Chain A
Amino acid sequence: MNLAHTAEEIAFRDDVHAFIAKNLPPEIAAKVHGGKRLGRDDYMTWHKILARQGWVAPGWPKEFGGPGWNTVQQQIFDDECAAAGAPRILPFGVKMVAPVIMRFGNAAQKQHFLPRILSGEDWWCQGYSEPGAGSDLASLKTKAERAGDHYVVNGQKTWNTLGQFADWIFVLVRTASAGRPQEGISFLLVDMKTPGITVRPIRMLDGEHEINEVWFENVKVPVANLVGEENKGWTCAKFLLGHERTGIAGVGACKRELKHLKEIARREPAGGGDSLMKDVRFRDRIAQVEIELMALEVTNLRVLSAEAEGGKRAPGPEASILKVRGTEIQQSLSELMMQAVGVYGIPYVPEALDAEWGGVPVGAEYAAPLSGHYFNMRKTSIYGGSNEIQKNIVAQLSLGL
């Protein structure tokens, strides 16, 4: 056993580091570090920079334009990006729909969609959940009826992340109603500009707009946009959900947040003239979460290297463990940051989340986003399969309960 990186891994990390240092626009990194609002352009700018370098889709096979990295390299890349303050590469195109198209799509779909995902030409969003179908996704009701060379889609999707910016949405629809709920579901690719689609914003508890309802009213979708077989969409759906493990633990982002927490604790007063970092009670709590993060990081690496060795990519309970612990740690970090600023977690100054805002902050300049961030992070244990569902998976698949 050897925990140290190999010489090649270190050289790889140095290359990645140098590239990011040179190419990540400082104003975007400043937004990420300062907890400011990111717009469509911020995501796209970074996506295109990485695309030009051939690094936007680390998990893709070489034949489709991936860089051919192993899982450890992918993790190093994730860590370096997060540490530098790069916006995350949105998963909906690169990590979700693309692998489904690669595996189940026809030649025309591969040829058309994959290069556009790489280049960033199409912004994708995910249309799985419905008001009555969350954890129990198979109970979805959105209907697609075949009419010649089209499907006519009717229904409602919800909790759609950043769909307000999207060009395309991949949806699960019901194409047959007999049999088990998992049967009769199909996987469709839908152009967001198709008549009959309405996107309505949902305001989140932190006051921000990052999720939407998407309504489909007699939306005509060419049969050519069906991925895989009709009524066999559940296979695609599951493949997508279990597919991408690198990054699920969010180790890189957690490390960046931990560093930020420490900076805040060093700068905040403890009341007696000392810094909060000198307050042993608060410092113990930072220590606790740092130790938990260490455990997560090594667990993550162990899962990834087992995967690299075995070459298996099927969904498994390890991903669930990473998701549960990763989100718990993200939540602890956000809570500690809010608590670190004491009463300055109380003001609500949403203008301060705008990088262009020239106003005077209330309290320290880093304080404004912290409470909202804590509130927002409650989502992490809900989305992507809630932590309860992840534990059910571990109980069933790993423990045989």
Chain B
Amino acid sequence: MDFSLTPEQGMLQDSLRKFLANEYGFDSRRKRAESADGFSRDTWAQLAELGLLGIAISEDDGGLGGDAFDSMLVMESLGRALVVEPYLSTVVLGGATIAAAGNADQKAKWLPAIVGGETLVAFAHGEPRSRYALSHVECTAKADGAGWKLDGQKAVVRDAATADVLLVSARTAGSTSDEKGISLFLVDAKAKGVAIRGYATQDGGRAGEVTLTGVQVDKDALLGNAGEAYPVIERAVDRGIAGLCAEALGIIDALNEATLEYLKTRQQFGQPIGRFQALQHRMVDMTIRAVEARSMAIVAAAGANDSDPMERRRKVSAAKAHIGQCARYVGQQAVQLHGGIGVTDELIVSHWFKRLAMINATFGDAEHHLGVFSDLLLKEDA
């Protein structure tokens, strides 16, 4: 076993950190979040130049052919800087999924444009009534002439309003919560019948409600085989979860550093508040959570690539559950230990805290994944 970074990974991390340190101060992040698109297209182009948009895509398809640990390093740094550019949507959920499930034509059409930063993707799977159940798909796709006709609604689709193309799941057979009968489509965001209601999110990002009304797509819009998209979706979500776990890890570390610094400098009762043992032990507990969160982010990265579906499920859900709990603890304590200033908009601490809460609500919160993991124990017995 080897937990050290390769020289290439070290370089990747260094260059990204340097870039973010220069380009991504908190004020600059606020400006991006408040701009019309909610992010900076210039920064996106720079991320493309750095090669980051091709990390999760094989060299054959025009990417860098990085592994899950490379993606982890990237997401960790993006988390720390609270990057609002649509990396998770376009690269982790979009590009990697097209690379995994697309045919040669689809890959040739989409992947270079994604790697080059020209095309933005949004992953439109969850629905208003699905909560975190991945197989719950009410949206329908009916064979129609040479293509398909899509109807339905997708809920809180991250980065929907700026996406060029939507990865939409729809039911081509079966009933609402069957795993079989779900298909994935690449839908032009400007297609007739697609309506997107965009809005800001609590963490300074963007999302949208997507309504599809009789949307006509060609047969080459179908990604993979009709009715067999469930495993593809599950894997995409697991990659997404691994990415979110790494992002949360970056934030947890950042919060701990900021809080530790505050404990050493904030004076009350004639001494730094870090002298109070009640706070020292709290800070130690936060540090323990951060150490464990790193371990579990590694588990998630490894798990998302596991070819055994049971093992993958176990690892990814364990990581999401545990990191969700660590994130909650660290986020809440970091705010608490900052006192009044911790609940203001002016300090980045509250923004890290909010992003962690929203990561928890994405692709299943800690309790949901604890439940998934716990249910797997029954299969172990069987």
Knowing A139-B268, A347-B201 are in contact, say whether A378-B336 is a contact too (CB < 8 A). yes
Bound-state CA distance A379–B350 (Å) is 12
Q: For B270, what are the chain A residues with a Cβ–Cβ distance below 8 Å?
A: 136, 139
Q: Does residue A247 face the partner (Cβ distance < 8 Å to B)?
A: no
User: Shortest beta-carbon distance, A195 to chain B, in Å?
Assistant: 28
B10 on the interface (CB 8 Å rule)?
no
A202 at the interface (CB under 8 A from B): yes
Contacts of A268 in B (CB 8 A): 131
Stretch among B87-95, B241-249, B353-361 lining the A interface: B353-361
Q: Which residues of A contact B340 (CB under 8 A)?
A: 129, 134, 158-159, 211, 379, 382-383
Q: Using Cβ atoms and an 8 Å threshold, which residues of chain B touch A345?
A: 202, 357-358, 361
Residues of A within 8 A of B130 (CB): 269, 271
Q: Is the beta-carbon distance between B371 and A281 smaller than 8 angstroms? A: yes
Secondary structure call for the A interface = mixed
Q: A134-B339, A205-B344 are in contact. Are A375 and B354 (CB under 8 A)?
A: yes
Contact status B343-A378, CB under 8 Å? yes
Provide the bound-state CA to CA distance between A387 and B337, in Å: 11
Q: Which residues of A approach B to under 8 Å, CB–CB?
A: 129, 132, 134-136, 139, 158-159, 202-205, 207, 211, 268-273, 276, 281-282, 285, 338-339, 342-349, 362-363, 371-372, 374-376, 378-379, 381-383, 386-388, 391-392
Contacts of A381 in B (CB 8 A): 336
Are A343 and B202 in contact, CB atoms less than 8 angstroms apart?
no
CA distance A270 to B361 in the complex (A): 14
Asked whether A378 lies within 8 Å of B131 as measured between CB atoms, the reply is: no
Q: Mark B326-352, 1 if CB is under 8 A from A, else 0.
A: 000000100110011011111000110
Interface residues on B, range: 35 or more
* Min CB gap A185→B, angstroms: 16
Give the residue of B202, B207, B332, B367 whose beta carbon is less than 8 angstroms from that of A371. Answer: B202
Question: Which 7 interchain pairs have the tightest Cβ spacing?
Answer: A271-B133, A205-B350, A271-B131, A136-B268, A203-B345, A343-B156, A269-B129
Given contacts A158-B340, A371-B202, A386-B339, contact A273 B177 (CB under 8 A): yes
Contact (Cβ within 8 A) B201 A346: yes
B136 within 8 Å of A by Cβ? yes
Tell whether A388 pairs with B279 under 8 Å between CB atoms, given A343-B126, A374-B357: yes
Bound-state Cα–Cα, A371 to B270, Å: 37
User: Would you call B278 an interface residue if the criterion is a C-beta within 8 Å of the partner chain's C-beta atoms?
Assistant: yes
Structural contact, B128 and A339, CB atoms closer than 8 A: no
Query: Is A339's CB under 8 angstroms from B365's CB?
Result: yes
Interface string of B259-277 (1 = CB under 8 A from A): 0000000011110000010
When distances are taken between beta carbons in the complex, the residues of chain A under 8 Å from B370 are 281
Contact partner of A382 (CB less than 8 A), chosen from B131, B343, B350, is: B343
CA distance A270 to B136 in the complex (A): 11
What are the residues of chain A within 8 A of B351 when measuring CB–CB? Answer: 205
CB-based contact B269/A135 at 8 Å: yes
Give A298 Cβ to nearest chain B Cβ, in Å.
27
Residues of chain A with a CB closer than 8 A to B361's CB:
338-339, 342-343, 345-346
Write out the residue numbers on chain A whose beta carbons fall within 8 Å of the beta carbon of B342. 378, 382
B156 contact set on A, CB distance < 8 A: 343-344, 346-347, 362-363
Tell me if B101 is interfacial: C-beta within 8 Å of chain A: no
- Could you say which of A203, A343, A391 contacts B362, with CB atoms under 8 Å apart? A343
